[in-house]
C-alpha cells in the first residue's frame, strides 16, 4: 500500500507549507531589508522540531511510522526550504553582500546542525 505513506507525506507537506507561508507573511513587516530572517527562522525552527520528533520516536518502544513520517518528511519537509535558502544566499551575493551571505550560510548550516543535535539529545 504505497498510497497511504504518500497521502500522509502530502498532508504533512500541505500543513508545513501553509505554516511556512503564514509565518513568512507574519514576519514580513518585522524583518529588516537585506537579510532573509524569515527563511532562517523557519529553517532553524524546523530543525528543532525535526530533532525533537526524531528524539521522541527513537525512544518509543513501538514507534508509529505513519505519525513520524507525517511530522518529519511531511510537516518539517514542507515547512523548511532549502531552495529558498539557496536562492536568498545567491541574491545576497549578487547584491554584493558577501559578508551577509557568509553569515546567513553559517547560521543556517551550523545552527541547523546544532539545533537538531540538541533537540534530539534533549528528549
Task: Provide the pLDDT for residue 62.
Answer: 67
- Going by pLDDT thresholds of 50, 70 and 90, the confidence category of residue 31 is confident
Quote the pTM value. 0.85
Task: Provide the pLDDT for residue 33.
Answer: 73
Say whether 31 sits in a helix, a strand or coil. coil
Whether residue 28 contacts residue 18, with contact meaning beta carbons closer than 8 Å, is answered with: no
Using a 10 angstrom Cβ sphere, with 0-12 exposed, 13-18 middle and 19 or more buried, the burial of residue 71 is: buried
Task: Provide the pLDDT for residue 2.
Answer: 84
Whether residue 18 contacts residue 83, with contact meaning beta carbons closer than 8 Å, is answered with: no
Residues 6+ apart with CB under 8 A from 66: 4, 5, 8
Amino acid at each position: 500500500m504505497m498510497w497511504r505513506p504518500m497521502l500522509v507525506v502530502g498532508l504533512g507537506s500541505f500543513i508545513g507549507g501553509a505554516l511556512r507561508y503564514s509565518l513568512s507573511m507574519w514576519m514580513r513587516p518585522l524583518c529588516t531589508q537585506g537579510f532573509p530572517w524569515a527563511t532562517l527562522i523557519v529553517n532553524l525552527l524546523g530543525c528543532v522540531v525535526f530533532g525533537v520528533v526524531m528524539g521522541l520516536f527513537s525512544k518509543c518502544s513501538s514507534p508509529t511510522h505513519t505519525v513520524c513520517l507525517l511530522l518529519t518528511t511531511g510537516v518539517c519537509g514542507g515547512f523548511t526550504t532549502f531552495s529558498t535558502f539557496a536562492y536568498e544566499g545567491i541574491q545576497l551575493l549578487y547584491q554584493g553582500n558577501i559578508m551577509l551571505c557568509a553569515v546567513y550560510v553559517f547560521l543556517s548550516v551550523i545552527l541547523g546542525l546544532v539545533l537538531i543535535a540538541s533537540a534530539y539529545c534533549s528528549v
